[in-house]
Amino acid sequence: MKTFFTILGVFMAWTLFAQTNFEYGHYIDVAGNKIETEVSELSIDRFPEKIFIRKGSTIEEIDLSNVSEVKWGTAVFQKKRFYYDPTLRQDIDKLTEKENFEFVEKTDFVQLLTTGDYKLYQYVENGISTFIYETPEGMLVTLEHKKYLGQNRSVLINTNYVNQLFENAKNPKYETQNDYSLLKYTIQDLQQYFKEVNGKSYVKIKKSRTRFNLFAGYAVHTMDIDFLSDIPGKTYGSLTVVPEVEYTPNRHLKNPTSFYANVKLHRFKNDFVEEYERENWNHKVDYQSLYVSLGVKQYFLSNKKVAYYGKLGVGLNNPIKSEIKSPIDSWRLNLILLDRYGAGINAGLGARFFDSFLAEVDYDFVFANSNINQNFVLNFKLGYSF
Same domain, 217 and 176: no
- DSSP-assigned beta bridge partners for residue 142: 132
pTM: 0.52
Indicate the residue among 139, 171, 197 that finishes a domain. 197
- Residue 21 domain-assigned (yes or no): no
Confidence of residue 181 (pLDDT cuts 50, 70, 90): confident
- Residue 51, domain member (yes or no): no
Check whether residue 120 and residue 246 sit in a common domain.
Answer: no
pLDDT at 206: 59
Q: How far apart are CA 37 and CA 19, in angstroms?
A: 18
Are residues 192 and 92 located together in one domain of the fold?
Answer: yes
Which residues make beta-bridge pairs with 318?
290
Domains of the chain: total: 2
Do both 171 and 224 map to the same domain?
no
Residues 238, 381, single domain; the answer is yes
Chain segment 239-294, per-residue pLDDT in tens = 999 999 999 998 877 789 999 999 999 999 999 988 877 778 889 999 999 999 99
* 71 has pLDDT over 90: yes
Which residue from 158, 156, 216 is spatially nearest to 360, judged by alpha carbons? 216
From the list 72, 9, 5, 68, the residue with the least C-alpha distance to 33 is 68
Containing structural domain, residue 129: 74-197
* Cβ neighbours, 10 Å, residue 97: 10
Whether residue 265 is found in the same domain as residue 128: no
CATH code, 332: 2.40.160.20
Domain-located, residue 66: no
What are φ and ψ of residue 190, in 5° steps?
Answer: -75, -35
Q: Last residue of some domain: 153, 168, 197?
A: 197
Least confident of 22-36, 57-71, 323-337: 323-337
Residue 203 has pLDDT above 80, yes or no: no
The larger pLDDT score, comparing residue 165 to residue 153, is at 165
pLDDT of 194 > 90? The answer is yes
Using pLDDT thresholds of 50, 70 and 90, give the confidence band for residue 144: very high
Residues 230 and 373 in one domain: yes
- The predicted-structure confidence for 352-366, as pLDDT tens digits, reads as follows 999 899 999 999 999
Q: Which of 137, 170, 197 is the last residue of a domain?
A: 197
